[in-house]
Amino acid sequence: MNRNMKLRLFTLMIGLFAFVSLQAQTVQDGLALVHSERYNDAEALFKKLAEGTPSADNQYYLGYFYVKTGKIDEAQKAFEKGLQLDEKSYLNQVGMGTVALSKGDRAKAKELFDEAEKKKRKDAEVLFRIGEAYTLFEKNNDPAEAIRLLDLAIARDKNLADAYIAKGDALMLRNEGGNAATAYEYALTAKPNYALAYNSIGRIYLRGKNYNLALENYKKATEADPNFAPAYKDLAELWFFAQKWKQAAENFDMYLQKSGTTDPEMKLRAAQFAFTADDYSKSLQLLEEIKGKINNPITLRMYGWSYFKQNEPDKAIETLNEFMKVAPEKIVADDYKYLGRAYNQKVTDGKGYDSTGMAYIMKGADMDTSKAEAAATYKEVAGLYYTAKDFPKAAMAYEKGVSLDTAKASANDYYYTGLANFQTATGMIVPTAADSNFADSAKIVSDKRALFMKADSIFAIVTQKLPDWPFGYYWRASTLYNAYDRQENIDKGISAPHYQKLAELAEKDPDPSKYKSYLKFAYSYLAFYNQTSVKDEAKAKEYWEKLLAIDPDNAAAKEALGLAVAPAASQPAATAKPKSGTATKKK
């Protein structure tokens, strides 16, 4: 074989390979890519078809791709070129009508659609595409006309699965979920194991908050086509509703991988999912990928929140302040909360909070539309105040938190509210005659007692919620002991029933030693009370013996039992340090 013959053969083979490659990918392949939201691949394929095999139909489907991706000007160019190739291409006329409809020119769209329907009334594809066009635009749709045309298309071709899908979409525009589901099921009859149909059914169930059936159908979609990207996106939203943050983020990652999308809005959504899954570094990475590519102030919010979580408070404050400046209408409660937390994060004096930070956090709580969220935020603030021993502010914040969501307030919430009031009262100093404010002493005494009584009423709620928890009774006894003159308290036995309940519950505990320090106060008080007020020597002796058993060196107990002479009998101490931990039921 000579050299020229070899070259001609080589050229022929290259052309043949190109032809085979081109023919191997069809319009249907491109439409499947559109349904799978693999838009980059779909665009490449439709362009390849339009350029490699110029035809009116190929131009229409290229334009259709642009319509589906919101590039209306590009769609119009493609349809016009299709009409140049074949002025009687009614698909491209439908395309031009679709462009008019997208722009709100319903009259022009109807004129073009009506002519196409009249000329091609037996062409199922033309009827289908007109009907579908009436479902594509949020503000310019006509579900009734869509259903009429789609029914005509289905009558011409009962195996046109996508016509059933479009009919289901039209019915969803009329909020007819049941009928829409039936239409999608017919699509499965026309095209068994069709991922798009399963996914559309899943969306109906998600909208109706039937999460189990939504999950079932999304899974069927991925099983039918593991590369069907929208199912992973919808699964992510489903898991997000279920507050399964990690699963949500994982499925949205799968959507990004399967779709190959470079859409900045999708990357932003992925950053939000990563944030809720506590993957803050990934959230920041995704934000960096779309930096300068998207004019959405929400990116600033996400930067601010993520910077806070990454312990970069200065960057968090800077970006959140910028966000609030450029998009004040988009500010939500959490924006102020994160800004406040970032200010608190900067504190290095051991106090644990910054006054500006606390003000912002409470501003966020006051903006909150959820009472439960607002309540939780005030309790967060209260905890910071309490840790810093700023008990008056802690008491006010705890009370605000409890009042916002009383129905869900826990025993622990009331416990710390009571402690904050108790500690506030304890910190009030009654002036003596030598003090300049001595004239206020009577009022201060009254206010102090009122706070102790308030604390007691709060601890009473704790004992109601946790009747078998000894510490609630300890704090009732101790609070009342401080609210009254101590001799009056013992004479009247005001704290006695609460110390008795504390002793009863603690003694039943498998490990009563953990209540030792509290039982010392209880036994001492009850011994004095029975000895001096009730005059019940036997009961007094019982308590002295119990006190001596846990405190062998207790001088008052020894003296009372005749074992030693105490220099002076003392009454029980006023307070004990607050128990650390939380008010929880004994296990």
Among 18, 73, 26, 59, CA closest to 45: 26
Give 359's contacts (C-beta < 8 A, 6+ positions apart). 340
Distance CA 67, CA 33 (A): 14
Give 336's contacts (C-beta < 8 A, 6+ positions apart). 360, 361, 363, 364, 367
Distance CA 154, CA 167 (A): 10
DSSP result, 3-56: HHHHHHHHHHHHHHHHHHHHHHS-HHHHHHHHHTT-HHHHHHHHHHHHHHS--H
Among 117, 121, 120, 99, CA closest to 108: 99
Among 546, 452, 523, 528, CA closest to 490: 528
DSSP result, 208-247: TT-HHHHHHHHHHHHHH-TT-HHHHHHHHHHHHHTT-HHH
**What are 467-472's contacts with CB under 8 Å, separation 24+?**
468/505, 468/585, 468/586, 469/411, 469/505, 469/583, 469/584, 469/585, 469/586, 470/501, 470/502, 470/505, 470/506, 470/509, 470/515, 470/518, 471/415, 471/502, 471/518, 471/579, 471/583, 472/411, 472/415, 472/583
| pLDDT at residue 564, rounded to an integer | 65
Among 116, 118, 47, CA closest to 78: 47
| Domain spanning 466-587, CATH class | mainly alpha
| pLDDT at residue 435, rounded to an integer | 80
| pLDDT at residue 441, rounded to an integer | 85
Alpha helices by DSSP H, listed for 277-332, are 280-289, 298-309, 313-326
Among 547, 581, 580, 583, CA closest to 563: 547
What are the extents of the domains in the chain?
Answer: 466-587
The alpha carbon dihedral of 171, 174, 179, 184 has a sign of positive
Give 478's contacts (C-beta < 8 A, 6+ positions apart). 422, 495, 521, 574, 575, 576
Per-residue pLDDT of the chain in tens (587 residues, 90 and over written 9):
444 544 444 444 444 334 334 445 799 999 999 999 999 999 999 999 999 999 999 999 999 999 999 999 999 999 999 999 999 999 999 999 999 999 999 999 999 999 999 999 899 999 999 999 999 999 999 999 999 999 999 999 999 999 999 999 999 999 999 999 999 999 999 999 999 999 999 999 999 999 999 999 999 999 999 999 999 999 999 999 999 999 999 999 999 999 999 999 999 999 999 999 999 999 999 999 999 999 999 999 999 999 999 999 999 999 999 999 999 999 999 999 999 999 999 998 888 899 999 999 999 999 999 999 999 999 999 999 999 999 999 999 999 999 999 999 999 999 999 999 999 999 998 888 888 887 788 898 999 999 999 999 999 999 999 999 999 999 999 999 999 999 999 999 999 999 999 999 999 999 999 999 999 999 999 999 999 999 999 999 999 999 999 999 999 999 999 986 545 444 454 444 444 445 644 33
DSSP class of residue 123 equals -
